[in-house]
C-alpha cells in the first residue's frame, strides 16, 4: 500500500450577527483582481463569473459594512473602471496577513498532532488560496 500525502486546509471569514458573509476569501480574491485589472468586468472574466454575481457580492459587503469598497468611473474615452477605497485596501492587506498567519499555525499544529497517525505535509497555502 502506497502512503498517501495529506494537506491541511482552513478557511476564515467575517460575518454579521445574522450569519451573512461580510468578507472572506472569495471577496478577497474579487477585490485583488479589481485592484490588478482595474475593473469589475475584467475581474469577472478572470474568475469566470458573471458581472452581476461579483457586483452583488461587493454591494452586499458594502451594505453590511456601511461603507463603499469601490470608486467607480463611468465610461468615456478611456472606458470605465474601478479603484479600491482605502477601506478595501486595508481589508486586502489585513485579511491577507491573517490568512497567512492562520494557515501557518494550523499547518504546524495539525502536523505536530497528527504526524504519528497520517502522512500530513503542511504547506504555506497562500498560492493555494489565490485560486478561484
Judge whether 4 lies within some domain.
no
Q: Model confidence over 33-60: pLDDT tens digits?
A: 999 999 999 999 999 999 999 999 999 9
Q: How far apart are CA 65 and CA 63, in angstroms?
A: 5
Q: Write down the pLDDT at residue 77.
A: 58
Indicate whether 1 belongs to any domain: no
Instruction: Tell whether 51 is covered by a domain.
Output: yes
The predicted structure's pLDDT at residue 6 = 76
CATH number at residue 55: 1.10.10.10
Would residue 5 count as lying in a domain? no
What pLDDT is attached to residue 54? 96
Q: What is the pLDDT of residue 132?
A: 36
Residue 57 lies in a domain: yes
> What separation in angstroms does the CA of 6 have from each of 1, 25, 48, 106, 132?
15, 22, 29, 14, 21
**Is 3 domain-assigned?**
no
Measured CA to CA, the distance from residue 8 to residue 83 in angstroms comes to 34
The number of distinct structural domains making up the chain is 1
Tens digit of each residue's pLDDT (9 = 90 or more) over 79-124: 778 999 999 999 999 999 999 898 888 888 888 888 778 777 655 3
Domain that includes residue 93, residue range: 13-129
DSSP 8: -
Q: Does residue 8 lie within any of the structural domains?
A: no
Amino acid at each position: 500500500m502506497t502512503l498517501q500525502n495529506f494537506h491541511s486546509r482552513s478557511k476564515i471569514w467575517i460575518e454579521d450577527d445574522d450569519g451573512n458573509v461580510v468578507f472572506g476569501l472569495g471577496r478577497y480574491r474579487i477585490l485583488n483582481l479589481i485592484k490588478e485589472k482595474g475593473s469589475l468586468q475584467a475581474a469577472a472574466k478572470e474568475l469566470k463569473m458573471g458581472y452581476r454575481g461579483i457586483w452583488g457580492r461587493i454591494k452586499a459587503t458594502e451594505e453590511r459594512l456601511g461603507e463603499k469598497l469601490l470608486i467607480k468611473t463611468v465610461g468615456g474615452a478611456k472606458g470605465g473602471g474601478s479603484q479600491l477605497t482605502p477601506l478595501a485596501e486595508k481589508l486586502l492587506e489585513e485579511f491577507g496577513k491573517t490568512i497567512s498567519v492562520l494557515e501557518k499555525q494550523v499547518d504546524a499544529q495539525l502536523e505536530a498532532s497528527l504526524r504519528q497517525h497520517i502522512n500530513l505535509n503542511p504547506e504555506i497555502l497562500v498560492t493555494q488560496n489565490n485560486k478561484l
